[in-house]
Homo-oligomer: A and B are copies of this chain.
Amino acid sequence: MPVQLNDCPVEVVFAILSGRWKIPIYRYLYKTNEPARYSALLRHLPAISKKILTEQLRELEHDGIIERNLYPDARPRVEYRLTSYGLSMIEFLDKMSEWGEKYIQSNNSHFQK
């Protein structure tokens, strides 16, 4: 059998966060620091489609990173926010960000393609 994904905690984390829009969604929720409506996310991520936004939100919710709250009304209102679990990711995300910045700064700009 191949290497079990779940053998490696690092791969578990990658599995949770891999998806074209998961980091952008996380960043938005983190920096606004308040529940965001579906439509606000849609507006903030100009290139995303509703189908994909819904998918990515469902997956993040499934993995316990965000929470979905429906406020039924004439016009339904849905808000998403980071759970405490989601918030706690900031520890390694900050470290990653630091590393990434150094990487970009250095003339190792291979990643440009």
Q: If the complex has contacts A92-B95, A92-B96, are A12 and B110 also in contact, measured as CB distance less than 8 A?
A: no
A112 and B8 contact, CB distance less than 8 A: no
User: Chain A's interface: helix, strand, loop or mixed, by majority?
Assistant: helix
B89 touching A10, Cβ below 8 Å: no
Minimal beta-carbon separation of A45 from chain B (angstroms) = 7
Given A3-B45, A24-B3, A108-B85, answer yes or no on A100-B17 (Cβ-Cβ < 8 Å).
Answer: no
Partner of A99, one of B89, B99, B103: B89
Set of chain B residues within 8 Å of A2, measured between Cβ atoms? 45-48
A1-52 CB contacts (< 8 Å) to partner B: 1-3, 6, 8-18, 23-24, 27, 45-48
